[in-house]
Structure 1
C-alpha cells in the first residue's frame, strides 16, 4: 500500500514537471470562457426592457374590474345579490354555500357586495369559503 502511494507521488511530481505551457494555455482558455459567459449573462440581464405604461383604468383594453365580474355573475345567475343573510341571523352566505339552503326565502336578505353585508353587521359564515 505504501509502495503504491510512493509511486503515485513520484508520478505526480513528474506530471507537474512536465508541460507547463499546456497548463498555462488550458487555464487561460478556461478563464476566457468564464469571462465570456459572465459578460453574456450580464448582457442578457441588462437588456433594455421597455417600461410598463400604466394608463387610466377606463382606457385599458381587456381589463375588467372585480366588481364588474361580480355584477355579470349575479345577472347571469338570476339571483338578486352576491351574498345572502337571514333576517334573524348574524352570518352571511355566498350563493354556493350549503348554509344558504337552510334559510327560508321569506327570511333571506340579499346584498350586492360583501362590504354592504358587513356594514349591515353580518359576518361570513364559518365553513363558507368565498372570494
Structure 2
C-alpha cells in the first residue's frame, strides 16, 4: 500500500516538473525576501548628518569644487560676533538667521546685524518666511 502511494507521487512529480519548479522559485523568493526584511530591522540606524551653520554654502547647484575655486587665497571672511544672531538687508524688509538662504544672498556691505528679534522688529523688520525657527 505504501509503495502504491509512492508510485503515484513519483508519477505526479514527473508530470508536473515545470509547475513544481516555478512554485519552488516563488517559495524561495518569498522566504529570501522575508529574511532580508527581518535582517534590515536588526541593523543599527545611522545618525543623519546635520549641517547647522555653513558660511560658504553651495548655492544654485554649484559644485563644491567650483565654489572653492572661486575663492581667492587672499580673501577674508567676516565672521559675526556670537552676539550677532540676526541679519537683515538695508534694502529689505525681513530679518534672517545668518545661515538661512535669504541671509546668504545679502551682500556684506548691505548687512545689518541685530542681537535680538525685538531689536530687529523695532527697526521695522519682519521675520523671514523662508527661514525656519523665526
Question: Normalised by the shorter chain, which TM-score bucket?
Answer: 0.3 to 0.5
Pair member with larger Rg: 1
| TM, length-normalised to structure 1 | 0.39
